Structure 1
């Protein structure tokens, strides 16, 4: 289910491309080239901005908890969730070297009114809403074990080269309020039970996980 939700439909792709072209062609645009592990705010000179992620991967992190809410891969539009509010809920953390173009949110609203772009904006926001709803359904479980189990199953769907780069501890602790001690205990028990194999903190093998713990 999680994998299917992250598949971007042609309609959503078209919406990202259309809004991306408008951002890239704006006379108010600002181009940003950033290395990995850098924080980028949605505010520029106290004015909220919207971004077109042209290349690379970023994390949207909560300003309150610093937990990762969502990983976003180029090409994508970022920042529409607060288009009509002053809430400062997220910030960008770069996972790789990235290239972005930003414009003031007010300019995007003006352009959307002039060129009737609201269907494209609504399509993008609807997709992000679906993904965040799924994330919450995975995160808010009746036990710590189920939260860990769900995230292990998500992680195991990654390609091998990506798995070799990701620490299981970092992946889960950066996305959930699970404590390190609880995570360590569950992982040790899963290794002892033959359900998973780990090497230097990386997940190298996983069988079907038990439904309960």
Structure 2
């Protein structure tokens, strides 16, 4: 399941500095340079440069995003999950938004079935609530609160 997206430059793995086992992964959608530091080296840099305050702000940002985007708030309906992900997809960088289909973006962040996602996207497109070309989200006109 996709937990998050990020723009460059970005740091990953700071919340896992003390974990031995790290089973997450990330994938890039555009060419980029990736650097890797050991946990020990990161800790040394943080101490040398007195970056504990900056690190705490980064961790607060990550946990805030996790809490609001991943942790379920009640039990949302399939439509509510799709609606939320469509709004988040519109907030993504244009190049990224045009490189991924709305269905794929939604399914990577939820555990909804492809047929269910496609059915709701088709209804939203037919109703004029969203504009899509070749499966890619172009514009949200106005999404109803309920489906």
TM-score band by shorter chain is 0.7 to 0.9
Alpha-carbon distance change, 212 to 161 in structure 1, aligned in 2, over 3 angstroms: same
The equivalent of 1:107 in structure 2 is 41
Q: Which has the higher strand share?
A: 1
- 1:29-108 matches, within 5 Å, as 67-108=1-42
2:3, 2:70 within 8 Å by CA — same for their partners in 1? no
Q: Provide the C-alpha distance between the structure 2 equivalents of 1:151 and 1:82, rounded to a whole number of angstroms.
A: 26
User: Which of 128, 133, 148 is the aligned partner of 2:82?
Assistant: 148
Q: Which has the higher helix share?
A: 2
2:27 match: secondary structure: strand
1:139, 1:176 within 8 Å by CA — same for their partners in 2? no
Q: Provide the C-alpha distance between the structure 2 equivalents of 1:184 and 1:144, rounded to a whole number of angstroms.
A: 11
User: Which of 169, 174, 179 is the aligned partner of 2:103?
Assistant: 169
1:140, 1:147 within 8 Å by CA — same for their partners in 2? no
Q: Provide the C-alpha distance between the structure 2 equivalents of 1:206 and 1:197, rounded to a whole number of angstroms.
A: 6
- Per the TM alignment, residue 103 of structure 1 is displaced from its structure 2 partner at its CA by 1.7
Cα RMSD for the two superposed structures: 2.3
4+ aligned runs moved over 6 Å, structure 1:
none
Alpha-carbon distance change, 105 to 125 in structure 1, aligned in 2, over 3 angstroms: same
- Per the TM alignment, residue 113 of structure 1 is displaced from its structure 2 partner at its CA by 3.6
The equivalent of 1:3 in structure 2 is none
Number of equivalent positions: 147
Q: What residue ranges of structure 2 are gaps of 5+ in the alignment? A: none
1:138, 1:147 within 8 Å by CA — same for their partners in 2? no
2:26 match: secondary structure: strand
Alpha-carbon distance change, 98 to 207 in structure 1, aligned in 2, over 3 angstroms: same
Q: Provide the C-alpha distance between the structure 2 equivalents of 1:75 and 1:161, rounded to a whole number of angstroms.
A: 16
Are 1:127 and 2:71 counterparts? no
TM-score, normalised on structure 2? 0.84
The equivalent of 1:182 in structure 2 is 116
- Per the TM alignment, residue 158 of structure 1 is displaced from its structure 2 partner at its CA by 4.0
